[in-house]
Amino acid sequence: MRIIVDGFGGDNAPLEVLKGCVSAVDGLGVDITVVGDQDKINACAKENNIDLSKISLRHADGVMEVCYEPNKILKEYSGTSMAVGLKMLADGEGDAFLSAGSTGALLVGATFIVKRIKGIKRAALATVIPTANSAGALLLDCGANADCRPEMLAQFGVMGSAYMRSFMDLKAPKVALANIGAEPSKGRELELESYKLLQSAPIDFIGNIEGRDIPLGGADVVVADGFTGNLILKTIEGMGKFFGLGIKDIISGSLGTKLGALLLKQKIIDFKKKTDYSEHGGAPLLGTCAPVIKAHGSSDAKAFYNAIRQAKLCVENDLVGKITAGLEELKSSAEV
């Protein structure tokens, strides 16, 4: 299995990318090709004593900066490390692609270079969010599609279920629709229609989920339009930051509170780990002909390692095959 990695995506590229890749080759037993400016990669490796002998390199000249207009990845910036990596994936020179660069550009590039699975209306950006009573829940769409139609939400349900079977090894992930009440009559026209389609989809659809139950782990897959999903995701991030500041304040201060903090240290670390995004790798882009993973922009070596592990699981467990099969079933259920 070969994972293609954008060497120049994210705030800590290329150093943390390279460190993550090197440990993944050994730890995960995958082949890796890092795409990007060869001179810069070699210089960085030399400077930091990183042994690249087990890594393949593919040269690409520029970087698809976050501030660039995403659509320009198709022509003006088709020589950047992200575009070249996606082209390699499309040409079968690898099994999955991973980048911590611009989300918008990755979405455009994945859709038009790697292309969507036949029948998929829109690729969706998904994220595993930490939950209180389960190992995490997949939220999608997280912002790729601000406006959605019911058929798109039904496909998100099928793709999310396939992903959680591949990545979390769940037999029948519980899929729910983000809504403002539990009853099927709640929500806007979009939710009313999507509810019906999800009900007949080849997934374990458990109905609507309210915001309150999302972080508590009420569902394994939470389906929403990209506008709603993005606001849910970012609100969760903001609350995490809010509580992080709160904990920091609690454990700082007098000698007494410092001692108290010391006694609770391990438990605080465990809880922080539970709420840590990077444990779950990056955000998978679902619906493309081969797995594409968006790593967090601030990813460090550990986060890159986990994102590579995630890409490996998607390939190993045939995520694309599962989505394709689910899509066929969805189509025939809609035709009945």
Nearest one of 161, 135, 170 to 329, comparing CA atoms: 161
Sites for its own copies among residues 223-262 (CB under 8 A): 224, 226-228, 230-243, 245-246, 249-251, 253, 256-257, 259-262
Task: Decide if 109 contacts 73 (C-beta within 8 A).
Answer: yes
Nearest CB to its own copies, comparing residues 61 and 147: 147
Task: For residue 330, give the amino acid letter.
Answer: L
Sites for its own copies among residues 90-149 (CB under 8 A): 130-132, 143, 146-147
* Min dist. Cβ of residue 320 to its own copies (A): 27
Q: Cα dist. 17→8, 29, 283 in Å?
A: 8, 17, 16
Nearest CB to its own copies, comparing residues 131 and 155: 131
* Min dist. Cβ of residue 138 to its own copies (A): 16
**Residue 335 corresponds to which tokens in the numbers above?**
């035709």
Sites for its own copies among residues 9-48 (CB under 8 A): none
Sites for its own copies among residues 145-184 (CB under 8 A): 146-147, 178, 180
Contact status: 273 vs its own copies (CB under 8 A)? no
The C-alpha atoms of residue 142 and residue 140 are separated, in whole angstroms, by: 5
Across 87-241, where does the E strand assignment appear? Answer: 96-99, 124-129, 137-140, 174-178, 204-209, 221-223
Near its own copies by CB under 8 A: residue from 169, 172, 182, 188: 188
Nearest CB to its own copies, comparing residues 49 and 266: 266
Across 119-245, where does the E strand assignment appear? Answer: 124-129, 137-140, 174-178, 204-209, 221-223
The C-alpha atoms of residue 263 and residue 266 are separated, in whole angstroms, by: 8
* Min dist. Cβ of residue 41 to its own copies (A): 32
Near its own copies by CB under 8 A: residue from 6, 16, 213, 220: 213
The C-alpha atoms of residue 302 and residue 47 are separated, in whole angstroms, by: 20
Ramachandran angles phi, psi of 10, nearest 5°:
95, 170
- # binding residues, its own copies (CB under 8 A): 55
C-alpha 207, offset from chain centre: 24
Q: Which residues form the interface with its own copies (CB under 8 A)?
A: 130-132, 143, 146-147, 178, 180, 187-189, 210-216, 224, 226-228, 230-243, 245-246, 249-251, 253, 256-257, 259-264, 267-268, 271, 274-275
